[in-house]
Structure 1
Amino acid sequence: MALTEEHREKWLRVLGGYPDDEKPDPEHRLAVETSCSGFLGNMWTRATMPEVQGVSLAELETVFVQYHLSRPEPFSAAMLAAMTELADAPGGRRAAAKALERLGRLGVPPPSWYGEEMTLGECWKAGDVYGDQLTFFCSFHAPSGDQALSYTVDYSEYHFDMVVDCDATGDLDRLLELHRVRNAKSLDRLFVPVEADPAEVSAGTRRSLEDWDIFCVEGDARRLAPRFLMLRELWRARLRRFPRAEPAEVRQPSDDELSLFASGFLNHLLGRILLEARHVEAIRELCWFHGINGPKVSPTRAYVFLERWLPAKYEPGDPVVEAVRDLFIPFLRWTASATDLEPMAWPYLKFKAERWLDEFPSWSARDPDCARFPRPRSL
């Protein structure tokens, strides 16, 4: 759908509704960039939802530039200066730069930080010991002042990665200290911040930016973490200063790998339970799902398997479902040992799995497309 005058007028009203008493100081670079990023995040949610608007983000960025060009004041000049970095498309960044030049000819100069170099500083990471979640921390240096960003991602080899939190400040140590204190209290499932390679940061965040999980927010991008929407474009802009590294492809277990995995667990069960056909089928489901990208058990995998994968394939009363109930905790325990999960990380995983099993099978979500791999991008 092309940008209509109705859409254009709507967004001009939105941009014009920014309260004057909440506009940041044009000379405060991070505050201005955060404000600009927030508007772009708001526009992005609408551009990704054709049933709401169906207008591309590039078209909406044009409206943003036109609006601030028509208001020759320091705040508009600062927002355009931020757009030269934050606009999603190169064309949007060029349009903002040209608009800023025009404001300069009208007697409104750009902010003093415009055009200064922003260089990458330190990179750190913290997260859980299962590999379900990582928080990346990065510092950036510029003459106008340092910046620090954090970015927290929930990972799932089966579902798309989800951003659950972001932050921006001028003090990297403040961000790190919060995680050092909190994580040190839960070493059974969290690790304290350690230095990270910039390429790892790039690979660890790229998929969550490009393939946000429509399924987990029921198709409504506005239900994503608010601070992610506020800082998404700022993080994308800073990511251009990182060495580009692609995330690893999601790899299904081969027949040989699946057979080896299932055989190991079957041998473990011999003499412990009378195996029936339903148990064998349940074991195949367990091993296939938990064998993606190599055998691993974790709270996220357990939740997705019980609450998304099984409801997509089976009725609640299916014998395989009851067999999963019988085998799930023994399977997690055996796989945790076989994959060398830290022993102190087992109690929390067991606790979470048992809580989900209390209401299993709840079947609150039953979408058959969830059992397709890779999952359709339309979900």
Structure 2
Amino acid sequence: MTELPSQESAETENVRGLLEEVLREFDELGPDTEPLQVELLASEILGEWWEAGDDLAAELIDFAAAAPEPERLVAPLAVLRSLAGTEEQRAAAGLALEKLGRDEPAWAGRLNQVTVGDCWRTADVYGDASSVLCVFGEGEGAHGLLVSIGYAIHGGWADEAVIVEAPDEVVAEMHTQAAESGGLITCERISPGRAHQLLADAFVGTELQDEPEITDDYVRFRALAQARLRVLPEPEPVDPPQVLSTEDQAEIIDEFFRSTADVADTEAARVCVLRLIEFGVEHDPRRPLRVGPDKLASFVDYVDDGDVALTEEQDEVLPEVLAAWARWGASRDGLSEEATESLLEAVDDRLYERDLEGESTMDAYLDGLEDLDEQSVAELLERRRFAVPEVVTELGGEEVELDPSDPEQRRLLALAEHPEFQDSLAEDDLDEDGFLRLAAYSTLVDQLWDGEPAEVWRAARRLRDKGLDRDQVLEELAKVLEERLAPGEEDELEFDIDEYCQALDELG
């Protein structure tokens, strides 16, 4: 067994173990293994490294110079020479392989040496989604790269990539899907250069995201997919992003209101249209005014998540503006009557879901309160939404909706806003300062929710009126409480309520 150079740190020991696992997997490859099978193994390993944010390719290349059993490094270095993620790593792996001076497996010179066949694309008529298939090789050795691309946000990005063993069957399925779509999906053969452009842009869109929502197949086949892109001809040029000046945007808004009688031309409605244009410029720069079910649903998601800012008045007119914008955009895009009807139905469905979500959330925020007048309801919602702005959080890797009226669930929502302490909480090794800070914060959220003591909300409003955002306000309030927390009976924390309220009155 190869002995990796000993290092004292636990991190280095972990790297040693991971590299040894890789070497063992490559030890099992025979000299006559098919190149595609080698590539699939390597792609899975590289995908695991990428997903973990710990690319060990550089460590493996560096280790080659001092390996006691250099023959074990030949196979992985040959793979990295073809499939490593950067040109620098591929070159470094090739140089390390030359320095070893060992015979390479028969498959080494055939990695990523494939002919390019036909390329196909399906797309919906709205421009929301597309699938691209590139065929490589011939006869029984032919395989395909199939990539799913969404264009609703991020300028287009790939959420799935898979190597398929029977590309002819996939092509047949693509044609069938288009034929049975009622004119909503097209299927066409495209040039390899066009396919290269579409796929390269899509992969960039994915890689630029901090936490893209991708499938396991994307991770598994990512390295091999990107290697296959290097076999394709140069990408075909495409139109640059549209630049819409402030004057252009104002003209578009004027044109929209001149062309539709469904929405009153008010300041609130104009802001909604402006936000739709801005959303398109940011997330769909080549076709910022394009309308599609996924794109408009994503806009609503961004509004609900607070990433697109609307006042309460603007939010009230959003449903009618969104429906009119969809109808107007469909006409601009030349969509068929069937496509337009399907689009409007999708918008109605999303708005209906939003109403249900709003009613559910409203019930939670108004829990236990009856016979309030309109002004009291508005004031209570303002306070409680300040205390708990989101009812959806991530638990166990899944998004869940919690009930803020339940103290325990409200505490989970409060703690979710402090991810920097979550690992320590899970391992039960939170230090005293961290414990006091979280205790102050969760107690503060409870006080704001209950409206007791009243001094808390009054202080919060004063600080907010001075221009502090919510995080800054909570930080100032938490400091006041944290400074007054002291151990009480049975390990509980206590504070003097009168002293606390006086300090709050002096704040801001």
Q: What is the TM-score normalised by the length of structure 1?
A: 0.76
Q: Distance in 1 between matches of 2:234 and 2:76?
A: 27
* Equivalence for 2:268: 278
Q: Does 1:13 align with 2:17?
A: yes
- CA positional deviation for 1:299: 1.7
* Equivalence for 2:455: none
Shift of the 220–267 alpha-carbon distance from structure 1 to 2, 3 Å rule, reads closer
**Among the aligned pairs, what percent are the same residue?**
20
Shift of the 261–69 alpha-carbon distance from structure 1 to 2, 3 Å rule, reads farther
Equivalent positions of 1:51-200 (< 5 A) are 59-60=58-59, 62=61, 70=69, 72=71, 78-97=75-94, 100=97, 105=102, 109-112=104-107, 114-115=109-110, 117-141=113-137, 145-156=141-152, 158-192=153-187, 194-200=188-194
Shift of the 120–326 alpha-carbon distance from structure 1 to 2, 3 Å rule, reads same
* Equivalence for 2:230: 240
Higher RCO (C-alpha under 8 Å, 6+ residues apart): 1
Ranges in structure 2 where 5+ consecutive residues have no aligned partner: 1-6, 359-388, 394-508
Amino acid at match of 1:42: E
Equivalent positions of 1:215-230 (< 5 A) are 219-220=210-211, 224-230=214-220
Q: Distance in 2 between matches of 1:71 and 1:150?
A: 37
Q: Distance in 1 between matches of 2:205 and 2:252?
A: 30
Shift of the 344–99 alpha-carbon distance from structure 1 to 2, 3 Å rule, reads same
> Over aligned residue pairs, what C-alpha RMSD do you find?
3.8
What secondary structure is seen at the aligned counterpart in 2 of 1:212?
helix
Q: Distance in 2 between matches of 1:83 and 1:251?
A: 39
- CA positional deviation for 1:24: 6.5
Range with bigger deviation, 135-144 or 176-185: 135-144
Equivalent positions of 1:220-369 (< 5 A) are 220=211, 224-241=214-231, 242-245=233-236, 248-270=239-261, 272-290=262-280, 292-294=285-287, 295-309=289-303, 311-314=306-309, 318-360=312-354
Q: In terms of Rg, which structure is larger? A: 2
What secondary structure is seen at the aligned counterpart in 2 of 1:149?
strand
Contact 1:12 1:63 in 2 (8 A): no
Range with bigger deviation, 294-303 or 5-14: 5-14
Contact 1:155 1:162 in 2 (8 A): yes
Shift of the 284–220 alpha-carbon distance from structure 1 to 2, 3 Å rule, reads closer
Q: Distance in 2 between matches of 1:182 and 1:8?
A: 51
* Equivalence for 1:50: none
Larger helix fraction of residues? 2
Amino acid at match of 2:279: F
Aligned to 2:200, which of 195, 206, 211?
Answer: 206
Q: Distance in 2 between matches of 1:128 and 1:137?
A: 15
* Equivalence for 2:42: 36
Contact 2:61 2:77 in 1 (8 A): no
Shift of the 351–43 alpha-carbon distance from structure 1 to 2, 3 Å rule, reads same
Shift of the 61–198 alpha-carbon distance from structure 1 to 2, 3 Å rule, reads farther
Per-residue deviation, residues 59-98 of structure 1 (Å, max 9, x unmatched)? 255379689994746xx75544332210123343244445
Q: Distance in 1 between matches of 2:66 and 2:329?
A: 58
